[in-house]
Structures are given as structure tokens and as C-alpha cells.
Amino acid sequence: MEINFIEKIKHRILFEIKGVDHTFCNMLKEELWNNSDVKSCSYRIKHPLISVPTFIIETSKNDAIKVVLDTIKRIESENSKFLTALKKI
């Protein structure tokens, strides 16, 4: 996975994520919407076979990059809990 920033302003970021598809993008988008500081969050993939997903995130108070990093930590925690539960089966 490679992240390329197109625009970085304190409360708004636009970036591309190489090496992911709709599965990861939907998970990240949905978890970002769980943060009350997120004003807008969306992504697009122009063509599923040849395009790179582009995300845009806008926050009201906190630094947008910090919000994304916090969101990724929550996703990692949830995935870890799921893996632990799965191993118990």
C-alpha cells in the first residue's frame, strides 16, 4: 500500500492509496464517518481495473491526518479482536 498526498491542509486532505480496492476503501470510509469531527468523507475509483482510489476528507476541528491515523488504529483494534475470536473457534 502506498499513499500519495495530493492536497494537505489542516482540516482537509486529498490522497491516493495504491494497492487497495473497494473493500478497504469502504471500511475506511465507514469508520471515518463514525468520528463526529468528520464533515465530509468520500472516495472514488474512476475505473476498477486501472485506477487508484482517491480519498477526500474534511474535518471541523482536528487535523485531518490525525483523524485518519486514529481511524486506522480503531480498524486495527477491531480486526485484532475479530482474529482473536476467530482463533477461539
Average pLDDT, the chain: 93
Q: What is the pLDDT of residues 12-29, one digit of tens each?
A: 999 999 999 899 999 999
CATH (domain of 34)? 3.30.1360.10
The pTM of this model reads: 0.84
CA geometry: angle at 76 spanning 31 and 1, to 5°?
90
- The continuous run of DSSP H or E covering 75 comes out as helix 64-88
Domain count, the chain: 1
Quote the domain boundaries for residue 14. Answer: 2-88
Encode 39-48: b = buried (16+ Cβ within 10 Å), e = exposed. Answer: eebebeeeee
CB 20 within 8 A of CB 53: yes
